[in-house]
Amino acid sequence: MVGQGRFAADVSLPNTKHIAFVTSPYPAARIVAIDKTSALALSGTHYVLDGRELADATLPLVSGLDTPNVVRRSLAVGAARYSGEWVAAVVADTRALAEDAAELVQIDYEPLPYVLDAETALSAGAPPVHAAHESNVLLDRTFVWGDVERDFAESPHRLAFRVKWGRSSTVPLETFTVTASFDPWRDILDVWASIQMPKFPDQIAVALKLQASSVRVHHDVDVGGSYGVKRGIKHAVLAGYLAKRLAVPIRLVEDRLENMRGGDAHGPERLFDVEIAFDGSGVIRSMKMQALDNVGAYAGRAPFQLGKPIGAIVGPYRIGSVQYRAIAVTTNKTVQDAVRGFGQAPTNYAIERAIEEVAARLSLDPLDVRRRNFIRAEQFPYTIPTGSSYDSGDYHAVVEKTLVRGDYVALLAEREKWRAEGLLAGIGIAACLEPSGGNAVFETLLNPQTTTTTWMESCRIIVDTTGGITATIHTNSSGQGHETLVATVVGEVLEVDPDRVRVVRPDSLSSLPGNSPVGSRMAIMLGGAAFHAAQKLKTKLIGIAAHDLGIPVDRAVYRAGEVNDRTDAKRLRTWNELVAIAHRHFHRLPPDTEPGLAVSHILQVPTGGTLPTPDGRVNMYPCFAFEFHLLLLTIDPELGKPEIRRYLVGHDCGTVINPKIVRGMTLGGIAHGIGAALLEEFAYNDEGQLIAQSLMDYLLPSSHEVPPVEIVGHVTPSPHTVLGQKGSGESGYLGAPAAIANGVNDALRPLGIKVDNLPIRIAALADMIAAARQTSA
């Protein structure tokens, strides 16, 4: 706001050295020799690190899968597996010098066969990306929940379709950045990084063979956007190793090219084959879904992104049985990391397409088909076939409110008006869920060797001797408003102005256990931890006051920082008096009371804590928010350019703690969804080169592409959270791509064509329309 943010690149330590990378020009190649001589001869160059040295000194990065022969490290060892992969890191006095020196590193490569397409990678004879692993399959699991075959056999109608979600990502404006500094006398590695990563210090420590108590991650670093991808373990291990090896502070700031090719921050690229069994009224009885994900050259987070959607695999619908096959294959493309929704947005796109297909087959209104399949308000809590228990909701009410606000009849008339004027026009609809607050049990489900059943978050509150209140957050933020969240919740419980609550971020060595702001969890988990900590503080204050007033605890009433006697309100202890007793007057404290005013709470995920059953059922998430997208778009038939004329979204994420933050998240999510649907794709050419490698080729939505969005709020509190709140960090993005795709297909329907792949590129659309018109003419 005033230029006083503190992002990772703003951390400036004396004598810091800078990194630039030498990257692979081939999608697959054996690294024959690396000649560093010329680079090291350049004045100001200090070191050239190759993958072999790093591999000898560190442990591989952890994937969470049981695939020991798919080894991932910060730098390629022996072979490069995608174009742009980091092969060597050059350390110099400045970034500019490091880039100069990187150009002088000579690497001999022997190009190898490569594979880019997921289906090809699956086929016999395809070159394995990791020779020692022998195939390209990292994960292939089939789950059957309920009697799918019976339901298919008994259903009067069946259909099948294929859709593809293109390779895009969140592409934050700040590239990944880390500064590392090692103190060999204290044996501490200090790390400032732009992270959104669970267990970040622990993972760095394991890879560098240190105790986590020797890694101090500074959480008071602002993060310039993440939306999932700022994981940065490979970056931090590299910078940490060099800081230790060279005994100087090391800064790694990806440039945009390094970020887009070798930053390992791509998102899902997923092929869905879906079969639906349904009756004549459009009620869906069963679904078979196969999701084939092109994960790129190493595991990253991609395989597990096939797991999260299991928690809401039937969307908001009463589908009685499901077969789900999740396949993750390696190819010679950039590695994926977590992207907003962790795989849920692609799955929602496939589910919503299924609804449209059923409606089209039966010539029904797709809105009616959704209504007929929605779980009804009185059915909550509702357990879906996979074992997830949907906490609460009123989907019909949210849809009705949105239709009223949007004047659906007028919207249909407007579509006809545009069509009469010669444009293609369509209504786009999508309904979907945002599972939130989870305990990462999808890892357990996909890899039974993992037995983690908690994913806690914590908060500590300290009241100092002057009566000031300080609360803590134990992770970085990337714009989610966690300070506001904690101050609001603590203020609410203690009945004080949130502006009185100072919120700080201790470093990782001073932190309570936590898991970072992933999976739409912080309103639930950090909000919950802050709530319980504040309750503990309040309880302690009441106890102190009751004892000092000589009354039973149940006669003491807390109000806005003061405690009085219920039977005589004039008998009270003020905030300052209670603070003084706690900090200085031990003789006035109740027996067995710790002096001072410090409380903390470590919150377990509500409804979590159990392992999946042997047949793969488990409740993955405590909360399920609902959103209903409704839009009108037109397409200029000559240009193929879609234009969104009206956009409404009905949104129910339970109790809203901060309306402006929730609104901002939803609006930003929709903008991101517009990008995924229409603009953004990490496209490759046949030679295996990433061709969208700058922001001139990878198109981010600007203010021109994002229309005004009308949000229609509805509140169905969750029974599982302290204030009834649910998550909203992924809202908008989870349904926007589906709604836009459905809108485009509604517009194309008169031409008898439809699009099956995202993103829907303008040029491709124009060609399709021209071909269809030629055929009909």
Partner 1 sequence: MSIDLMVNGKRCRVETEARTTLLDCLRDALGLTGTHMGCEHGVCGVCTVLLDGVPIRSCLMFAVQADGYDITTIEGLAPGPGELSIIQDAFCETHGMQCGYCTPAMILTANALLANNPEPSREEIVEAISGNICRCTGYMQIVEAIALAAERLRGANRPVEVAQ
Q: Among residues 515 and 731, whose Cβ is nearest to partner 1?
A: 731
The residue within the footprint of partner 1, chosen from 25, 44, 127, 479 (CB under 8 A), is 479
Residue whose pair of structure tokens reads 């593809």 in the numeric block: 164
CB–CB of 238/75 below 8 Å? yes
> Contacting partner 1 (CB under 8 A), which of 481, 622, 688, 743?
481
Contact assessment for residue 433 and residue 626, using Cβ atoms and an 8 Å cutoff: yes
**Does 4 participate in binding partner 1 (rule CB under 8 A)?**
yes
Cα distance between the two ends of the chain: 57
User: CB of 451: closest distance to partner 1 in angstroms?
Assistant: 35
By CB under 8 A, which span of 164-172, 386-394, 572-580, 607-615 interacts with partner 1? 164-172
Does residue 727 interact with partner 1 by CB under 8 A?
no
User: Which residues, listed in sequence order, are joined to residue 713 by a DSSP beta bridge?
Assistant: 651
Contacting partner 1 (CB under 8 A), which of 136, 386, 439, 478?
478
Strands 321-330 vs 382-383: parallel, antiparallel or unpaired: unpaired
- What distances in angstroms separate CA 118 from CA 270, 272, 644, one per listed residue? 9, 12, 32
Which one of residues 98, 139, 148, 171 is an interface residue with partner 1 (CB under 8 A)? 171
If one asks whether residue 713 binds partner 1 (CB under 8 A), the answer comes out as no
Binding part of the chain for partner 1, among 281-289, 410-418, 699-707, 739-747 by CB under 8 A, reads 699-707
Applying CB under 8 A, among 5, 68, 111, 750 the residue interacting with partner 1 is 5
What H or E segment, with its residue span, contains residue 445?
Answer: helix 441-446
Give me the sign of the Cα torsion angle 43, 47, 50, 52: positive
Q: Which stretch binds partner 1 (CB under 8 A): 222-230, 455-463, 488-496, 619-627?
A: 222-230
Phi, psi of 12, deg, nearest 5: -125, 115
Question: Comparing C-alpha atoms, which of 350, 301, 358, 345 is closest to residue 325?
Answer: 350
Nearer to partner 1, 521 or 617 (CB): 521
The answer to whether the bond into 759 is cis (omega within 30° of 0) is yes
- 233-262 residues near partner 1, rule: CB under 8 A: 253, 255-256
- The answer to the question of residue 663 lying near partner 1 (CB under 8 A) is yes
Within residues 289-308, the interface with partner 1 by CB under 8 A covers none
DSSP secondary structure code for residue 677 in this structure: I
Task: Take residue 706 and report the two structure tokens written for it.
Answer: 């994002």
Q: Looking at beta carbons only, is 448 or 664 nearer to partner 1?
A: 664
1 is a contact residue toward partner 1 (CB under 8 A): yes
Distance CA 723, CA 486 (A): 13
Contact string (CB under 8 A) for partner 1, positions 339-358, x = contact: --------------------
* Strand pairing report for 710-713 and 469-472: unpaired
Of 251 and 333, CB closest to partner 1: 251
For 494, the 3-state DSSP assignment is helix
Q: Residue 483, interface with partner 1 (CB under 8 A)?
A: no
Residue type, 140: D
Is 633 among the residues that bind partner 1 (CB under 8 A)? Answer: no
Distance in Å, CB of 667 to partner 1, minimum: 4
Minimum CB separation of residue 150 from partner 1 in Å reads 45
Q: How far is the CB of 161 from partner 1 (least distance, A)?
A: 30
What are the E-state strand segments in 395-535? 424-436, 457-463, 469-472, 501-504
Among 664, 713, 717, 719, binds partner 1 (CB under 8 A): 664
Q: Which is nearer to partner 1, 267 or 616 (CB)?
A: 267
Whole-angstrom Cα distance, residue 174 to residue 177? 8
Q: By CB under 8 A, is residue 668 in contact with partner 1? A: yes
- Token pair of 672 as six digits: 């991101």
Cis ω for the linkage preceding 606 (within 30 of 0): no
7 makes contact with partner 1 (CB under 8 A)? yes
Does 657 bind partner 1 (CB under 8 A)? Our answer is: no
**Alpha carbon distance 30, 24 (integer Å):** 10
Q: Which of 410, 700, 770, 771 binds partner 1 (CB under 8 A)?
A: 700
Segment lying near partner 1 (by CB under 8 A), choices 5-13, 22-30, 292-300, 487-495: 5-13
Instruction: Please tell me whether residue 670 binds partner 1 under the rule CB under 8 A.
Output: yes
Q: Which long-range contacts (CB under 8 A, 24 or more apart) does 38-43 make?
A: 38/104, 38/105, 38/106, 39/90, 39/101, 39/102, 39/104, 39/105, 40/101, 41/104, 42/92, 42/97, 42/100, 42/101, 42/104
Closer of 175 and 344 to partner 1 (Cβ)? 175
Question: Nearest approach, Cβ of 466 to partner 1 (angstroms)?
Answer: 20
Q: Which one, 63 or 196, has the nearer CB to partner 1?
A: 196
DSSP 518-568: -TT-HHHHHHHHHHHHHHHHHHHHHHHHHHHHTS-GGGEEEETTEEEETTE
Q: Distance between CA atoms of 599 and 465, rounded to whole angstroms?
A: 15
Q: Does residue number 96 form part of the binding site for partner 1 (CB under 8 A)?
A: yes
Q: Does residue number 14 form part of the binding site for partner 1 (CB under 8 A)?
A: no
- Return the number of the residue (225 or 506) whose C-beta is nearest partner 1: 225
Q: Is 388 in the site for partner 1 (CB under 8 A)?
A: no
The SS3 of residue 212 is helix
Torsion angle of alpha carbons 50, 55, 61, 66, nearest 10°? 130
Residue whose tokens read 């390629």: 76
By CB under 8 A, name the one of 152, 227, 442, 531 that touches partner 1. 227
Interface with partner 1 includes 170 (CB under 8 A)? yes
The nearer residue to partner 1, 436 or 447, going by C-beta atoms, is: 436
For residues 720 and 388, what is the distance between their CA atoms, to the nearest angstrom?
14
CB atoms within 10 A of CB 594: 11
Say whether residue 92 binds partner 1 (CB under 8 A).
no
Residue 762 φ then ψ, to 5°: -55, -45
- Closest CB to partner 1 among residues 298, 698: 698
User: Minimum Å distance from CB 718 to partner 1?
Assistant: 24
Q: Does residue 643 belong to the site contacting partner 1 (CB under 8 A)?
A: no
**Touching partner 1, residues 558-587 (CB under 8 A):** none
User: In the complex with partner 1, which residue's Cβ is closer, 198 or 481?
Assistant: 481
Residues in 173-202 at the binding interface with partner 1, rule: CB under 8 A? 173-175
> Minimum distance between the CB of residue 479 and partner 1, rounded to whole angstroms?
3
Rounded CA gap, 543 and 528, in Å? 22
Identify which of residues 2 and 409 has a Cβ nearer to partner 1 in the complex: 2
Q: What is the DSSP letter of 168?
A: -
Asked if 422 interacts with partner 1 (CB under 8 A), we say: no
10 binds partner 1 (CB under 8 A): yes
- Of 288, 320, 312, 306, the closest CA to residue 385 belongs to 320
Residue 3 is a binding residue for partner 1 (CB under 8 A): yes
Residue 282 · residue 362 · CB < 8 Å? yes
Q: Which is nearer to partner 1, 228 or 282 (CB)?
A: 228
428 neighbors 349 (Cβ within 8 angstroms): no
Q: Among residues 51, 84, 224, 608, which is the contact residue for partner 1, using CB under 8 A? A: 224
- How far is 107 from 533, CA to CA, in rounded Å? 56
Helices (H) and strands (E) in the chain, counts: 20, 29
Residue 363 binds to partner 1 (criterion: CB under 8 A):
no
Least distance (Å) from partner 1 to the CB of residue 658?
8
661 binds partner 1 (CB under 8 A): yes
Residue 672 binds to partner 1 (criterion: CB under 8 A)? yes
Q: Which residues bind partner 1 (CB under 8 A)?
A: 1-5, 7, 9-10, 12, 96, 170-175, 222-227, 253, 255-256, 478-481, 660-661, 663-665, 667-672, 694-696, 700, 702-704, 706, 708-709, 732
